[in-house]
Every structure is written in C-alpha cells, then in structure tokens.
C-alpha cells in the first residue's frame, strides 16, 4: 500500500509515517495543501490522508479540487475540530472517511486498510492478479507460479505488482520509480534494473519463463508469453 500524508504539523506527520512504514506501508509526505494537491494529482496512491485545518489551501479545498480534477483516490480527512457539520462537509466534498485527532495508530491503520480494499473493489481490481501461471495476491502478499509459492521481499513484491496491474502495457521506468520508491526518491534510478534482475531470478528463470521483459528506452513489461514459447516451457518443465 502507498499512502500520501498531508498535514502542516510536520512532527505529527513524520511520527505517523514512521509507524506506517513499520507496517510495510510506503509513505509520501506533504506539509501544505498546495504540495499535497500536486502530489495527489501526479502520484499513484492507495489512500490520501488529508488534514482539514491547514493555512493557505485547507483540506476542504484540496479535497474538492481533487474530485473536480477527477482524482478518485480514497481520502481520509483528519481534524482536531469537534462537530458533526465538519464531518458532513467533508463527505459532501468527496471524502471517503473522517477521523478526529487524537487517534490511535491501530485505528488509523484499520481505516487505511479498509479504504484501500474498498478502492480496489470499486476499480473492479481482481482479488488475485494473473499472467499465465504467475499469480499475485496483493491482500495476502503472496506470489505463486502455479502451486509453488515464491518468496519476495516487500520491494520486489511492490515492483511486480506495479507491472502486473498494467499488464500487458509497457510501464515507463519513471512510473515504476514513483510507484515503488516514491516521488521523493533521490537515489540511483538504476535501482530499477537491479530489482528487475532480482525478480527475473526468482519469478522467471527457475520456471523457464520470460514474462518480465525490458523494452529499451521505454521501461518494463510483464506480459503473457507467446503460445509457442509457453508450450515449450511447459514441456521442458
């Protein structure tokens, strides 16, 4: 899961992010409404956590503008205010859930996971993603070739999921970096090649498969093998 946290309380945001990252969630942070709006529009997130009371562009405005821009990422609104009218206003503007401060980490985590599941269902995403005999269960974090479970690290799983969700399209390298490593990643972009190599050694080569392909100058593709190659691989296996 990938989450965007938008709140001007920087210490709170960093504390929440640290707790979510321990749970295996990738987190991007924004400390004002304008930056949060831009990131939500440009990035690929499972949930946006959006504080209402921010100077300048407040959470209500960001939520309204995201929906006007046809960004349908689930939004969890945060507020320190009391009152049912604030909650009603948030839902009227397109928020999906509402949480009052202070809140527990356990409750926040449960809300985020629930919104991510609902989002997957609303996009009609399959419970299990498949290409040939390769299957990926994002909810259970399980990868299989046929009946054999393949052990992947969290980052390897995220990269494979990013490709399989857009199969058979070619996914640009920059899109994969943003999705898996985050928009603020400042490291060597060639990390993509390293991790694609890890995946090939675990997912393709032991099974004589070539589902993961490099499209030079563009990016990477996870696609079904041509019928003849698939039949040959099955016969060899």
Whole-Å CA distances, 1 to 8, 115, 180, 182: 23, 11, 10, 12
- For residue range 2-18, what is the model confidence (pLDDT) as tens digits? 899 999 999 999 999 99
Of 83-97, 128-142, 168-182, the poorest mean pLDDT is in 83-97
More confident residue, 82 or 228: 82
Write down the residue that tokens 């390298």 correspond to. Answer: 173
Say if residue 236's pLDDT is above 90. no
Task: Give the chain's domain count.
Answer: 2
| 106, 122, 138 - which closes a domain | 122
Same domain, 106 and 8: yes
Residue carrying the six token digits 């005999």: 133
DSSP string across 26-86 = EEEEESSHHHHHHHHHHS--SEEEEES--SSS-HHHHHHHHHHTT----EEEEES---HHH
pLDDT tens column, 89-140? 888 888 889 888 888 899 999 999 888 877 654 444 446 889 999 999 877 7
141 and 111 share a domain? no
Q: Is the pLDDT assigned to residue 22 strictly greater than 60?
A: yes
Q: Tell me the pTM.
A: 0.59
Domain boundary among 72, 102, 122: 122
pLDDT at 3: 92
> For residue 150, what are the domain limits?
129-236
Same-domain check for residues 104 and 172: no
Q: What is the pLDDT of residues 149-159, one digit of tens each?
A: 999 988 899 89
Looking at the structure, tell me whether residues 79 and 140 fall in a common domain. no
Task: Identify the DSSP state of 206.
Answer: G
* Cα–Cα distance, 83 to 149 (Å, whole number): 49
Asked which of 122, 150, 169 is the last residue of a domain, the reply is 122
Q: Are residues 15 and 86 in the same domain?
A: yes
**Are residues 232 and 152 part of one domain?**
yes
């Amino acid at each position: 899961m990938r989450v965007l946290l938008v709140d001007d309380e920087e210490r709170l945001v960093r504390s929440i992010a640290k707790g979510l990252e321990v749970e295996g969630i990738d987190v991007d942070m924004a400390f004002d409404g304008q930056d949060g709006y831009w990131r939500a529009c440009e990035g690929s997130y499972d949930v946006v956590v959006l504080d209402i009371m921010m100077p300048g562009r407040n959470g209500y405005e960001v939520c309204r503008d995201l929906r006007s821009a046809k960004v349908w990422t689930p939004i969890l609104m945060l507020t320190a205010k009391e009152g049912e009218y604030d909650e009603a206003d948030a839902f009227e503007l397109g928020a999906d859930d509402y949480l009052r401060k202070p809140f527990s980490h356990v409750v926040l985590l449960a809300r985020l996971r629930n919104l991510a599941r609902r989002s997957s269902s609303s996009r009609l995403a399959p419970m299990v993603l498949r290409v040939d005999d390769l299957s990926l269960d994002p909810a259970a974090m399980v990868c299989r070739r046929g009946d054999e479970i393949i052990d992947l690290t969290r980052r390897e799983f995220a990269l494979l999921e990013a490709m399989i969700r857009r199969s058979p399209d070619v996914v640009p390298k920059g899109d994969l970096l943003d999705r898996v490593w985050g928009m603020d990643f400042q490291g060597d972009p060639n990390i993509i090649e390293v991790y694609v190599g890890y995946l090939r050694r675990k997912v393709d080569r032991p099974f004589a498969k070539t589902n993961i392909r490099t499209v030079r100058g563009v990016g990477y593709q996870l696609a079904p093998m041509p019928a003849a190659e698939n039949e040959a691989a099955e016969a060899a296996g």
